[in-house]
Amino acid sequence: MMSNIDSLIELMSKLRDPVQGCPWDLKQSITSLLPHTLEEVYEVADAIESGSMVELEDELGDLLFQIVFYAQLAREGGSFNFDDIAAGVTKKLLRRHPHVFPDGTLASFGETKELSAEQVVANWDAIKEIEREEKRQKLKLTGQEQNDSPASLLDDVPKALPAMERARKLQKRAASVGFDWSEIEPVLAKLKEEIAELEEAIVQGQTKEIEHELGDVLFASVNLARHAQIEPEIALRGCNSRFEARFRFIEKQLQIEETEFKSKSIQDLDHLWDLAKQSGL
């Protein structure tokens, strides 16, 4: 009897059957799937934030299907298959957890080494650096190097990441070699400095400079979040939720008054906003 994952892999291969498969699935490529994959990741995030385990189970299934789809496309192209993906990540995790699997095998579980959380992170980073170098060598051997520039610590920070998350990863990677402040105070001072430069650009009315300085403010804000040990994406999503709740409060109040936004001054709307905040939204 097939396992559930084997059934899913078999289903995927049939969807891609050249004769009897699904026309939509047959049209897809690794590139065309990307927007759908990003959408599924955000739907997983929404399910987690909603607290619904029913929704989370469903959305994780959709995300798993995306992985199976990529594996099928790669198998058809002769690159790798789902089993290769599973084997690769298993090998990687065994290697990154020598304190749990001392000789890098599942069989060695139980022969644990006592390490602090900080030591685990240090080991993890060191092992990842070894893996990055091995990947660079593999790309070089297969002729898949992106350019002939010297290797950089930032090379494998994905460019396709959302800008805020990529900023956080770039900062974290630079911090791993000491390019970082050790305290939060100078980070906050830098943010204030960038805001002052943004204000100056606005006064001068220089659109390109405003864009530049606003980018610096956002980057500095991400750095502040990192030093405060806050995930900037989660912080912003929380802010979005509060904005939505307060805006809906204002809409409801206007409905009760049987009036519209355009009939209210910004001062009136700001008062309603304050009422929404006072109500706990």
Q: How many domains does the chain have?
A: 3
Tell me: do 206 and 238 sit in the same domain.
Answer: no
Q: Which of 141, 176, 206 finishes a domain?
A: 141
Query: What stretches of 160-265 show up as alpha helix (H) in DSSP?
Result: 163-175, 185-204, 207-227, 232-256
The pLDDT value recorded for residue 86 is 95
Tell me: do 20 and 78 sit in the same domain.
Answer: yes
Summarize the confidence of residues 251-260 as an average pLDDT.
93
Range of the domain at 85: 4-141
The pLDDT value recorded for residue 126 is 75
Per residue in 214-228, pLDDT (tens digit) is 999 999 999 999 999
Tell me: do 31 and 85 sit in the same domain.
Answer: yes
Angle between helices 53-76 and 4-15 (to 10 degrees): 50
User: The CATH number of the domain where 123 resides is what?
Assistant: 1.10.287.1080
153 assigned to some structural domain: no
Q: Which of 73, 106, 141 finishes a domain?
A: 141
272 assigned to some structural domain: yes
185 assigned to some structural domain: yes
Tokens of 43: 């739907």
Per residue in 23-77, pLDDT (tens digit) is 999 999 999 998 899 889 989 988 998 889 999 999 999 999 999 999 999 999 9
Tell me: do 180 and 239 sit in the same domain.
Answer: no
Tell me: do 33 and 135 sit in the same domain.
Answer: yes
pLDDT(210) > 80? yes
Taking the C-alpha atoms of residue 151 and residue 135, their distance in angstroms, rounded to an integer, is: 11
Q: Look up residue 234 and give its amino acid.
A: I
Tell me: do 175 and 223 sit in the same domain.
Answer: yes
Q: DSSP label at 99? A: T
Tell me: do 19 and 133 sit in the same domain.
Answer: yes
